[in-house]
Chains A and B, each alone.
Chain A
């Protein structure tokens, strides 16, 4: 049973650049959520995608955008990178929209902005 996968594992960018992170959900899941985890803190909810639409959004600027494909995989895009965007980005998948069902997380992408 394939779990949640993310790519790349690490990424180094400079301020002002744009980045795309990718996530494939656990087999059988149709909902993908993205989280940002700064060093020493708990993950913070960015947004959730279900049926190729953004269903819920956390307190993040419009520089953060996403997409979900027909095969349920998802991308997170961040434009105009800031130093403060350096973090571990986690993807979670679940069955059906919302957060009531058990969430499963991928290994994360560690983004460093120089």
Chain B
């Protein structure tokens, strides 16, 4: 299947700091999404971004499909940003077609 690598695996920030999370993937994709998983396990949609750049408040994301990576930016972090951030992708063809593959996540801890 598609290999999805996220970095860093763990991140500790002071409230108000900025951060960048990275997602590398091994094949061309027709779907890339960023999720925030809260402590109760709910996956919250942050961005649907197979290519290009999007912004939503303090969060923004960029996917460079030709170079097979995506970045999630968190500015002015808050304690409520804590949790695990997942990147997930799907491929447009071949054996991987129609399957959604997740990375292993970045665990973010924002300290007050």
Contacts and interface: CB of A to CB of B under 8 A. Distances in A.
B78 interface: no
Given A88-B41, A99-B99, 14 more contacts: A35-B100, A35-B102, A43-B86, A43-B88, A45-B101, A98-B90, A99-B31, A102-B45, A103-B31, A104-B45, A105-B35, A107-B41, A108-B42, A110-B41
Interface string B15-32: 000000000000000110
Contacts of B102: 35, 42-44
B97 to A, nearest CB: 7
Query: Looking at chain B, what size class is its interface with the partner chain?
Result: 20 to 34
A98 B41 contact: no
A20 B40 CA distance: 21
Contacts of B105: 42
18 contacts: A33-B100, A42-B86, A42-B102, A42-B103, A43-B43, A44-B102, A88-B41, A98-B90, A99-B30, A99-B90, A99-B100, A100-B90, A103-B88, A103-B100, A104-B45, A105-B42, A105-B43, A107-B41
A44 B99 CA distance: 10
A101 interface: yes
Contacts of A58: 99
Contacts, number: 64
Contacts of A110: 41
A8 B42 CA distance: 14
Interface of A: 33, 35, 37, 41-45, 48, 55-56, 58, 88, 90, 92, 97-105, 107-108, 110
A106 to B, nearest CB: 8
B66 to A, nearest CB: 18
A101 B92 CA distance: 11
Contact of B98 (A35, A43, A97, A105): A97
Most chain A CB atoms below 10 A, which of B30, B48, B88, B105: B88
Given A90-B43, A108-B42, A100 B30 contact: yes
